[in-house]
Amino acid sequence: MQYKVNLKKTEEGYSVWVPGLPGCWSQGKTEAEALENIKDAIQVYLETVEELTKDSESRYVEVANA
């Protein structure tokens, strides 16, 4: 699965966040490090959402790419 991420160069390196996953962000000293770190952040984010919603009734819908 692919997620769109935004990068911003900072004094400390790079900040990176996922617009489609509110609150999912990370950082790194280099762009490459930030991109690797956001992969871990996305995985933890999705695992947390799954855990928090495990007792909820859910459905899946398919959306065509724009």
The correct answer on CATH 3.30.160.250 for the domain covering 6-52 is yes
Query: What pLDDT, on the 0 to 100 scale, is given for residue 66?
Result: 67
Identify the DSSP state of 45. Answer: H
Q: Mean pLDDT across the stretch 60-64?
A: 91
Find out whether 27 and 34 touch, Cβ atoms under 8 Å: yes
The domain segmentation of the chain, as residue ranges, is 6-52
Backbone φ and ψ of 9, nearest 5°:
-75, 135
Q: Among 29, 24, 54, which Cα is nearest to 40's?
A: 24
pLDDT digits (tens, 9 = 90+) for 13-51: 999 999 999 999 999 999 999 999 999 999 999 999 999
Query: What pLDDT, on the 0 to 100 scale, is given for residue 65?
Result: 78
Query: What pLDDT, on the 0 to 100 scale, is given for residue 22?
Result: 97
